[in-house]
Amino acid sequence: MAAYHYRLEPQALIDTFLKHPPEGFTARLSQNGTPWFSTRFDLLTTLNKSDLDKIRRWPGFRFWRRLLRWPACFVGTTVSEYAPQPAQVEGRDFLRGARGLAPSCALTIIKDLPCDSPLLSAADNHAARQLFEQAQQQGFISVAGQALAYVPIHFDSIDEYLARLSHSRRRNLRRKLRSREALRVEIVNTGDPRLRDAGWRQTLYDYYLAVYAQSEIHFDKLSAGFFDALLQDADSGGRLFCYWHGDRLVGFNLCYLHNNNLIDKYIGFDYALALRFNLYFVSWFVNLEYALEQGLRYYVAGWTDPEVKAQLGASFTLTRHLVWVRNPLLRLLFRRLSHRFESDSEVILQEGSA
């Protein structure tokens, strides 16, 4: 098994990503063991909302937007919380290697590096700080990335957890959580014989696609083959939380038990039922209960929906991307505009002051 800095999840997720990359991606492993992928990247994907709304009003936007889709190389994966850096590779060599991975790509992005993450060891955080310093020396541009939500399991009951929230949020959540009485929660380990049923796996994948379709950001559309491999892997520590109303599957949540943490990865909904039963909120507290019962350290809740997760009591640790722009003139322009691609950090600052 490869030894990586910054890896929170089982190696199986990275291996499966390389075998079954998302639609439109080409995924590879470099000679030094670094996972990476290439795709055409829409430069507006992570632009902050106010600037994006302005650009959408420019004349002819729907015709010339395609010019903003550039060939890009990403160092890391979309299934790991942080970009895995091989532990045996020095930071300067890692950065030089990243710049040389895909000479035909206009951009090379080392995605989702930790910023003093409480989820990682002191050695990993030290390695990340060194990498940032070395990257600036080599001309990389540092851009604030997504906010990774997490909950320390420093409470003895859900009531104690709720007591930390404001009165209005606590009252609203208790009202939503009444929906749980109508649901049956089933936890299935990945690799369970029932998951050999191709029909059930297809249902789960269809539920994932329903969530993907309504997402504001469409970047990595994971394949049915990817899910098939994960669901049938008995050694990865996967836990499939299934929510039933009678004999109807309302939704699911695929998490991983790894290194004494519960890592939340994928959800799928029957949206009409999921909204009726407030499944997003119910599943949050089911996951917290499970982490508490198992004596875990953290519930790691992922990158999406930072506003909602902040209201649910999550803490956040920010990430950064290191961007290499191959063209020197475009590199200078991007350096001046890079702050406009830092929407998650704005959200967390706003929530923190609310």
Q: Could you report the per-residue pLDDT of 266-280, keeping only the tens digit for each?
A: 999 999 999 999 999
Query: Mean pLDDT throughout 324-332?
Result: 74
Residue 348 in this model has a pLDDT that exceeds 50: no
Query: Mean pLDDT throughout 109-128?
Result: 95
Q: CB under 8 Å to 117, separation ≥6 — which residues? A: 6, 82, 124, 125, 128, 148, 317
- Asked whether the beta carbons of 331 and 111 are under 8 A apart, the reply is no
The Cα–Cα gap between 265 and 238 comes to 10
Residue 234 in this model has a pLDDT that exceeds 50: yes
Residue 72 in this model has a pLDDT that exceeds 70: yes
Which pLDDT score, from 0 to 100, does residue 349 have? 42
The Cα–Cα gap between 239 and 218 comes to 25
- For the chain, what is the mean pLDDT? 88
Going by pLDDT thresholds of 50, 70 and 90, the confidence category of residue 352 is very low
| Pairing state between β 141-152 and 107-114 | unpaired
Domain ranges in the chain?
4-146+317-352, 154-296
Which pLDDT score, from 0 to 100, does residue 155 have? 96
Among 306, 181, 201, smallest CA distance to 245 is for 181
- Asked whether the beta carbons of 99 and 108 are under 8 A apart, the reply is yes
Considering only CA atoms, give the Rg of the chain.
Answer: 21
User: DSSP states of 7-40 as a string?
Assistant: --S-HHHHHHHHHSPPTT-EEEE-TTS-EEEEEE
Q: Give the H/E segment covering residue 102.
A: none
% of the chain beyond a pLDDT of 70:
83
Longest CA span, the chain:
61
Which pLDDT score, from 0 to 100, does residue 41 have? 75
Q: Could you report the per-residue pLDDT of 11-69, keeping only the tens digit for each?
A: 999 999 999 999 989 999 999 999 999 998 765 565 556 665 666 666 765 666 565 67
The Cα–Cα gap between 96 and 138 comes to 8
Q: CB under 8 Å to 203, separation ≥6 — which residues? A: 249
- Asked whether the beta carbons of 234 and 245 are under 8 A apart, the reply is no
Number of Cβ within 10 Å of residue 23's Cβ equals: 9
Would you call 188 exposed, middle or buried from its count of C-beta atoms within 10 A (0-12, 13-18, 19+)? Answer: middle
The Cα–Cα gap between 223 and 226 comes to 5
Query: Mean pLDDT throughout 191-201?
Result: 96
Would you give the DSSP letter of residue 250? E
List Cα–Cα distances, 266 to 33, 187, 210, 302, in angstroms. 26, 14, 12, 9
User: DSSP states of 178-246 as a string?
Assistant: GGGGG-EEEEEETT-GGGG-HHHHHHHHHHHHHHHHH-S-------HHHHHHHHT-TTS-EEEEEEEET
> Which segment of 38-52, 112-126, 173-187, 212-226 scores lowest on mean pLDDT?
38-52
Residue 353 in this model has a pLDDT that exceeds 50: no
Residue 307 in this model has a pLDDT that exceeds 70: yes
Q: 3-state SS of the chain: helix, strand, coil percent to 5?
A: 45, 25, 30
Q: CB under 8 Å to 64, separation ≥6 — which residues? A: none
CATH 3.40.50.2000 fits 154-296, yes or no: no
Q: Tokens for 158, please give them.
A: 């859900």
Would you call 160 exposed, middle or buried from its count of C-beta atoms within 10 A (0-12, 13-18, 19+)? Answer: exposed
